[in-house]
Structure 1
């Protein structure tokens, strides 16, 4: 039971008070039953009836108080555990090797950490009420035993037969729930595709028609499975009600036949059996919520397993503290490093390496090559995001190990080609010295954006302007090495020239080591070192001795 594994680990810590409250609520439920049954046998005693009425009202008030307290406490504890689970999953994603995290995918992580975990939050109060209902059933059966042992045996016999039939239905419901979960995922994927490609769909009717047809088929499959689930749940609910009615009929028709029981005992036993109906229906009605929570728990644990990393504890470090460990490096090197991308079904893999590469502090290094040659993999190896499967990553001759990998990564600020710009400057160091304003002026963004309260005032800009903000955010981290992946690709010819002729020299003058993936051959002379990537290998090229002619006037 995956749900039970998660609850034991996170939500059921110190849950004993809730269980005691559940038992207390069940005992008060029994008090209601016994006061009513006692009233049935003393209908001609007004004083006794008044006393029992007081007991009934006091029990009802106490039951309401215990029930409300229990539900509030269950919700509070589960929401606290939910917050821990969400952050824990994010920490695991940060701690995991990048290939593992990318294999899981951001959309799946968001789905598990959001809607699916919310199903757990909704299920726990229901499970607590179910526990209370089970306790109430047990107490009612014990009370029934004080009236007639034969009545207990009759009720248990019908509950056993009904339980067997219900269990078979439950297994079918669980299988259908898994199928529904897969169908929902397929429909969500098709819906996201359509919403993300609305412009393309409007410009290609065939594409739009095919995409909508695929989404319609997925929606129809989901409708069919949900209908089957509804029909099976109706069967499940009907079996539960028939089991209850059969138990009640057994007391009324069988109890007088199998034991010498007076009419009063039959009435009281029948009333006790009827009192079991509400907790039985509560358990039955809560089962779909339990199934959904179990599916969500299974999905959460599967993502945890795929990330293959324990969560890193939150680090408490001063927000303006500089990176440590390798901050005074002179040379970063890959020594015979290689990384293999597995192909589909283990075939058609692509290997980058073995690579021997050294980067000297303060150099400007351009990484060039055709698309698919391995440039991005080379950068990921150099950043320590892909583990070298052979060879090593070194700093000044010292091998970067798992224990020092975090300090090594602290050397780098990066702007990836598919970067996502946030308003919040989470990685920035001090913003009080005017450096942010200097950067915005340099990048010609000060008329559009400002920095206030450690955040950009807006990121609602063009793609090229967002790239400039990403560069500003990276430089505000004040790391010794800056890595840029096709940064200039989205810039205008004017700003592309400014980047190579002004901004790169500006960074070099400040001692920043720049590693840039680029296709702009007109500006290769701006580099100290040019690395050509070809079919997973590299070769070092001589940079042009003279600048290429600029096409724009100075």
Structure 2
């Protein structure tokens, strides 16, 4: 039975992410850390032996000898040296592995398919990666210290058993009872701690409601009162949960004191009555027991750190597994587009079909089949109602979505998985949910005056500048952010530009600038522009207009003259 239990424990340990993480450090380095930890623990226990030896000599009217002093100083120096090096080496090794873990996760993010980021499943990736790795950085030094405390406890218990087997069994019995009581208390109040964090998160959300909904709340007293009542209720509930959590901490502290005094009381008052002991042994037992209590308290108190580290590594590992399964295998094959692609004559989209599930309703939206030809130096407007499939078509045109059917041909050559990444490099896109970087990554050598000149042309002077390789301010209106994104796109100088309702947040004046100046200028430069728009009055700017309806092309025609 005992063998089966041990085998089960070893199997559980083998499958733990924490154990696997330590294995990645490397056996040579790990062996050195464990050896230093072992020596530090043993030398630490020798300190109590030397102190007890001196106490024994004093009790027999013998002054401490040089050998005892040498043992104490030597044990302390060895302990300090080994403990210091074990902590420093483990910290270096752990932070190195955490760096690799972060880089691996970000690399998986970089290579993952675009589709997975459009759902809610992976929205928590930044917080998980930041929060869990920070917790691991704090947890691992404590875990290493717990290992040393375990070695110290074993050595101290061996010394305690050497002094008195009865005292040893008393210590073991009381410690087991105390450990069981600790976990019972922790289990009892665990729900309170979780609830307290939950209520605090809800309160934070309500504070955001006060900040973001200030205008609505001032116009609606009932709304304001209701939100305030919700906050007050949550605050009261959080208060109760935090009181229970505080009681948990108090109970743990009282439990530790009860254990300490129980063991001392049993050894000092009970043990001499029922089991005759040398009086000098009693004096040696007291500091030894006190010395043993410290490691026990640390190990039990730090046990949640083991659980926290295992939970954090599990969360990151499962997240990485999901990212690996959605990896875009073509991404690692990125190269710069060939010159012939930069000077393409025709990109043909033939019978394109794509469908994906709607996670919220388990329904699917299908785009296609549709066909389209794109040539240099032309402006194509995609029109249609909301939900007609225009934005999905843009993702398919740029090669961001993988086709379920159909094919893409560049100058008659079919696009395959090996050339898909190169094909994407032809496009510079501003989607409706675009992201604006604060610097020109990949174009760091562009001169500042050129960027600032474009900022002037986009009428953003006084609002933002490009200094020291970055934009000074991104806290702009959506329309202004789109202008800044357009500047970045122009600097990229790609053959094809994709604009998804770029003009939607522009004022009347700059909307005219966009349609009457910017787009024609790009066409004159030989660039291709594919833009989603609802501005019918500017349809005459386009060379072709393509209308989408229910994911399909309903009609295609030349641009009509402006009214």
Question: Per the shorter chain, which TM-score range?
Answer: 0.7 to 0.9
Find the partner of 2:400 among 373, 385, 394.
Answer: 385
Q: For residue 9 of structure 2, what is the aligned residue in structure 1?
A: none
Shift in alpha-carbon separation, 1:186–1:300, aligned structure 2, 3 A: farther
CA deviation profile, 1:20-61 (whole Å, cap 9, x unmatched): 332222122111100111112111455534542343244335
Once the two structures are overlaid, the 10-residue window that deviates more, 453-462 or 515-524, is 453-462
CA deviation profile, 1:471-515 (whole Å, cap 9, x unmatched): 010121222221111111122222211211221121122222211
8 Å Cα contact 1:480/1:513 also seen in 2: yes
8 Å Cα contact 1:155/1:250 also seen in 2: no
Matched, 1:28 2:49: no
Q: Give the alignment of 1:313-392 within 5 angstroms.
A: 322-323=336-337, 327=342, 329=344, 330-333=346-349, 335-344=351-360, 346=362, 349-362=363-376, 363-388=378-403, 390-392=404-406
Q: For residue 537 of structure 1, what is the aligned residue in structure 2?
A: 552
Q: Tell me, what secondary structure is at the counterpart of 1:417?
A: coil
Matched, 1:492 2:507: yes
| TM-score normalised to structure 1 length | 0.83
CA deviation profile, 1:369-394 (whole Å, cap 9, x unmatched): 22233322222233333433x31452
Shift in alpha-carbon separation, 1:95–1:173, aligned structure 2, 3 A: farther
Q: For residue 271 of structure 1, what is the aligned residue in structure 2?
A: 287
Shift in alpha-carbon separation, 1:125–1:459, aligned structure 2, 3 A: same
Q: For residue 425 of structure 1, what is the aligned residue in structure 2?
A: 440
Q: Give 1:96 deviation, angstroms.
A: 2.3
| TM-score normalised to structure 2 length | 0.82
Matched, 1:114 2:97: no
Find the partner of 1:142 among 153, 158, 162.
Answer: 158
Shift in alpha-carbon separation, 1:524–1:23, aligned structure 2, 3 A: same
Find the partner of 1:96 among 102, 107, 112.
Answer: 112
Q: For residue 157 of structure 1, what is the aligned residue in structure 2?
A: 173
8 Å Cα contact 2:432/2:502 also seen in 1: yes
Provide the C-alpha distance between the structure 1 equivalents of 2:188 and 2:321, rounded to a whole number of angstroms.
Answer: 27
Provide the C-alpha distance between the structure 1 equivalents of 2:463 and 2:417, rounded to a whole number of angstroms.
Answer: 42
Q: Tell me, what secondary structure is at the counterpart of 1:276?
A: helix
Q: Give 1:118 deviation, angstroms.
A: 1.6
CA deviation profile, 1:305-360 (whole Å, cap 9, x unmatched): 444558899x9999xx84459555531425341223425253xx241323313241
Find the partner of 2:482 among 450, 454, 467.
Answer: 467
Shift in alpha-carbon separation, 1:311–1:127, aligned structure 2, 3 A: farther
Unaligned runs of 5+ in 1: 550-554
Q: Give the alignment of 1:509-524 within 5 angstroms.
A: 509-524=524-539
CA RMSD of aligned residues (A): 3.8
Q: Give 1:189 deviation, angstroms.
A: 4.2
Shift in alpha-carbon separation, 1:447–1:254, aligned structure 2, 3 A: closer
Q: Give 1:521 deviation, angstroms.
A: 0.6
Provide the C-alpha distance between the structure 1 equivalents of 2:116 and 2:232, rounded to a whole number of angstroms.
Answer: 32
Provide the C-alpha distance between the structure 2 equivalents of 1:476 and 1:74, rounded to a whole number of angstroms.
Answer: 46
8 Å Cα contact 1:240/1:284 also seen in 2: no
8 Å Cα contact 1:368/1:531 also seen in 2: yes
8 Å Cα contact 2:370/2:552 also seen in 1: no
Provide the C-alpha distance between the structure 2 equivalents of 1:263 and 1:351, rounded to a whole number of angstroms.
Answer: 86
Unaligned runs of 5+ in 2: 1-12
Find the partner of 1:455 among 470, 474, 484.
Answer: 470
Q: For residue 251 of structure 2, what is the aligned residue in structure 1?
A: 235
Q: Give 1:211 deviation, angstroms.
A: 4.1
Q: Tell me, what secondary structure is at the counterpart of 1:394?
A: strand
Q: Give aligned pairs, total.
A: 542
Shift in alpha-carbon separation, 1:433–1:50, aligned structure 2, 3 A: closer
8 Å Cα contact 1:368/1:532 also seen in 2: yes
CA deviation profile, 1:147-187 (whole Å, cap 9, x unmatched): 23443333333333333333444445666555555555544
Matched, 1:504 2:519: yes
8 Å Cα contact 2:380/2:545 also seen in 1: yes
8 Å Cα contact 1:339/1:386 also seen in 2: no
Q: Give 1:225 deviation, angstroms.
A: 3.8
8 Å Cα contact 2:111/2:332 also seen in 1: no
Shift in alpha-carbon separation, 1:121–1:334, aligned structure 2, 3 A: farther
Shift in alpha-carbon separation, 1:336–1:213, aligned structure 2, 3 A: farther
CA deviation profile, 1:516-545 (whole Å, cap 9, x unmatched): 111111111222222222233332332334
Q: Tell me, what secondary structure is at the counterpart of 2:546?
A: strand
Q: Give 1:133 deviation, angstroms.
A: 1.0
Shift in alpha-carbon separation, 1:518–1:406, aligned structure 2, 3 A: same
Q: Tell me, what secondary structure is at the counterpart of 1:542?
A: strand
Q: Tell me, what secondary structure is at the counterpart of 2:64?
A: helix
